[in-house]
Amino acid sequence: MSNPRYPTLFSPFDLGGYTLRNRIIHASIVTKYIANNAPTEKLINYYRSRAAGGAAAIVTEPIAMTAYNRIPTRLRAWDDVGMGNLRQVADLVNTEGSLLLGQVQDSGRGRHGVGRNDGAVGASALPDDLSWTVPTALSIGEIEAMIEAWARGCRRLKNAGFAGVEISAGHGHLFHQFLSPWSNRRDDEYGGDLEGRTRFLRSLISAIRNECGYPFIIGLKLPADDGVVGGIDMNEASAIAARLAEQRSEFDSWTWAWGSHARSLYKHLPDAHGERHPYLAHIAELRKIAPEVATGGIGYITDPNECETALTNGTADIVFLGRPLITDPSFPNKSRVGREADIRYCVACNTCWRSIIDGQGLECDNNPRVGSPDEHEWQPISVSNPKHIVIVGTGVAALEAAHTAARRGHRITVAGDHSNVGGKTLLHASLPGGENLSSVYDYQYLMANRYEVEFALGRKASADDIVSLQPDVVLLATGSRAGQPHWLDDDWAASGLIPSLREIATDLLERSDTTEGRCVLVDQDHTEMTYAVAELLARRFTKVTIMTSRERLGHDMSLINRQGSYQRLHDLGIEILCNVEPVDLDALENAQLGIRNVYSGALSHIDDVVAVTHASSRIPNDELLAPLQAHGLDVRTIGDSRAPRSLLATTREAYQVANQL
């Protein structure tokens, strides 16, 4: 029985000779769950759960289809050797009633990581805007050979049971590099005017259609505004779409991607610093070029209502969901049966992107189970000997452990001094761009209550209080607090005049006045929350300076989030000083802060300083550990009270510990 709130979302749709069971397609997501061109167990689990979770189709991550592109973290389709693996993946998706589409992509000169992209090919020998990789310009013969190889690769996918492919021609990759006048300066038939720049893509579409025939879905991901001066803006994107539309009998659907391999990369993963689904209005305009082509809505579409609206207001025929299906593979099924409250919603933190770029495989702040078996309808193993577990703390570590252990059959009591749950994340959720984070602890709290966790909140629990509860196990999830930075002597620290970041943020959130003068934020944290506070400071002080002893800000953030953050900090006029630390706090009496270059030792100062705050390395709140152990209790620390780390580390650790109890 389908949820009457989303009649269109859960109606079937005919595409390329196939029928989608609903309108939700899993957008292409690199998982790094592939090794030596073969799927790992995690990839199998990942696809099975997303298919069983109800997506109508899954677009895979890019598949290696050419002799040139044999990246080991891609499935192998450049010859017949990988057919068994391709069949295995297609079968498991098809068995769950979903369709599999392989992504056709080559990064060309594009590179996210440090260093250059050795052996890269491209449209012209011009540097990648991020890595400055200069590719070898492809000859006409090489282009033709690649097109043939891709078409044969697609044929292999079809033989293996794939329902189609998506050609990734956006995101700054190779086909985008040919489409853009910024990166394509060729003077042969594959460059120059629109006709020349679209020729590679148009020939590829024709070759795949010739090779694969029907039924076979060919979808396009085209560049919209790529944010590169001289590149593709919305006018150029429209012109490209209009030229491709002349060939619409050969492909089946299109959608668009924003940003490029440039400072604009972050635009492909919009987050809570901007409006929700920011691209749908543009997509609605672009689809008017050829309304009969099935159109995909994409980009920060987070809940089923937004999906339904995009489908019914003329924007799109299908919706591509990327990050939301990483966080909850059962988003489609839960929406369909009216269990929207049970969805673990994507918070657009982009930790997923960071995890694949850092190379350890896809992970999610709000889903500690990505890639595990039966992730879509996870049921923990029930314990035979239920214990009474007392969890001290109210943050996400406490709540993740509480609902997970309660689901296993343990009796759980959560004791915490705050009357609200959420801990540090609650504060972050109140800061600019943080609003989504509330869904992390809202979900945990909902589940904890559903599984009858007892909450004793609003009173600081002493060791004796905890002992009196007669727990079998105590989990200390008491978080962390700001440490005292080395440049802050004891007198200044005791003065209370240099608040920590959390203290100043808490204070400023209760006020709305603006102070004349400069607030200096000394950054020894380098995570998102620090820059969210910086944005708040920029609303409350007329001048803001962030200083760090490192070479750049945001060292612990993904490239994507760093770009977005830098954009906002610069837009707000915040001054950024690197390689310096404070030295002379006494100068504050004259509204000056002395600073020293950490390499040369050169001294200088900042003027007009009316406030200083510090985001310093945190130290664990583990004071209860020793007294509780002295009572002979089994006590374990989790989250920041074990060691201050990221939200990802916290949810993952709390989940793992709760599963071991």
Ligand X SMILES: Cc1cc2nc3c(=O)[nH]c(=O)nc-3n(C[C@H](O)[C@H](O)[C@H](O)COP(=O)(O)O)c2cc1C
> Which residues contribute to the site for ligand X (CB under 6 A)?
27-30, 61-62, 103, 168, 171, 221, 257, 268-269, 298-301, 321-324, 352-353, 356
Please tell me the chain's helix, strand, coil percentages from 3-state DSSP, rounded to the nearest 5: 35, 20, 45
Least separation in angstroms between residue 448's CB and ligand X is: 28
DSSP 380: P
The number of beta carbons lying within 10 Å of the beta carbon of residue 251 is 25
Least separation in angstroms between residue 353's CB and ligand X is: 4
Least separation in angstroms between residue 271's CB and ligand X is: 9
Q: Where are the alpha helices (DSSP H) in 297-368?
A: 304-312, 323-327, 331-336, 351-358
Both tokens assigned to 32: 């790094």
Least separation in angstroms between residue 320's CB and ligand X is: 6
Both tokens assigned to 245: 């539309």
Least separation in angstroms between residue 308's CB and ligand X is: 16
- The values of phi and psi at residue 535, to 5°, are -65, -35
Q: Using CA of residue 430, residue 431, residue 432, residue 433, what is the dihedral sign?
A: negative
Both tokens assigned to 127: 């540097």
Q: Over the range 189-211, which residues count as b (16 or more CB within 10 Å of their CB) and which as e?
A: ebbeeeebbbbbbbbbbebbbeb
Least separation in angstroms between residue 357's CB and ligand X is: 8
- The residue (of 62 and 122) whose beta carbon lies closer to ligand X is 62
Least separation in angstroms between residue 96's CB and ligand X is: 21
- The residue (of 27 and 286) whose beta carbon lies closer to ligand X is 27
Asked if residues 136 and 122 have their Cβ atoms less than 8 Å apart, the reply is yes
- The residue (of 200 and 353) whose beta carbon lies closer to ligand X is 353
- The residue (of 322 and 393) whose beta carbon lies closer to ligand X is 322
Return d(Cα 347, Cα 331) in angstroms, integer: 14
Angle value at C-alpha 615, between 608 and 444, nearest 5 degrees = 135
Residue 458 C-alpha from the chain's centroid: 34
Return d(Cα 60, Cα 130) in angstroms, integer: 25
- The residue (of 267 and 614) whose beta carbon lies closer to ligand X is 267
Residue 647 C-alpha from the chain's centroid: 13
Asked if residues 166 and 221 have their Cβ atoms less than 8 Å apart, the reply is yes
Return d(Cα 503, Cα 494) in angstroms, integer: 14
Distant-in-sequence, close-in-space partners of 294: CB < 8 Å, separation ≥ 6: 13, 15, 252, 253, 254, 317, 318
- The residue (of 276 and 550) whose beta carbon lies closer to ligand X is 276
- The residue (of 29 and 427) whose beta carbon lies closer to ligand X is 29
Least separation in angstroms between residue 462's CB and ligand X is: 44
Least separation in angstroms between residue 60's CB and ligand X is: 9
Asked if residues 47 and 93 have their Cβ atoms less than 8 Å apart, the reply is yes
Return d(Cα 377, Cα 369) in angstroms, integer: 11
The number of beta carbons lying within 10 Å of the beta carbon of residue 556 is 15
Asked if residues 413 and 391 have their Cβ atoms less than 8 Å apart, the reply is yes
- The residue (of 27 and 237) whose beta carbon lies closer to ligand X is 27
- The residue (of 20 and 364) whose beta carbon lies closer to ligand X is 364
Least separation in angstroms between residue 62's CB and ligand X is: 5
Least separation in angstroms between residue 262's CB and ligand X is: 16
- The residue (of 103 and 295) whose beta carbon lies closer to ligand X is 103
Residue whose beta carbon is closest to ligand X: 322
- The residue (of 298 and 463) whose beta carbon lies closer to ligand X is 298
DSSP 585: G
- The residue (of 189 and 358) whose beta carbon lies closer to ligand X is 358
Least separation in angstroms between residue 355's CB and ligand X is: 7
- The residue (of 221 and 502) whose beta carbon lies closer to ligand X is 221
Least separation in angstroms between residue 486's CB and ligand X is: 37
At 524, is the secondary structure helix, strand, or coil? Answer: coil
Least separation in angstroms between residue 325's CB and ligand X is: 8
Return d(Cα 463, Cα 465) in angstroms, integer: 5
At 237, is the secondary structure helix, strand, or coil? Answer: helix
Least separation in angstroms between residue 110's CB and ligand X is: 11
- The residue (of 356 and 574) whose beta carbon lies closer to ligand X is 356
Bridge partners, 474 (sequence order): 390, 635
Q: Over the range 280-304, which residues count as b (16 or more CB within 10 Å of their CB) and which as e?
A: bebbbebbebeeebbbbbbbbbbbb
Return d(Cα 272, Cα 345) in angstroms, integer: 13
Both tokens assigned to 450: 């559903």
- The residue (of 174 and 352) whose beta carbon lies closer to ligand X is 352
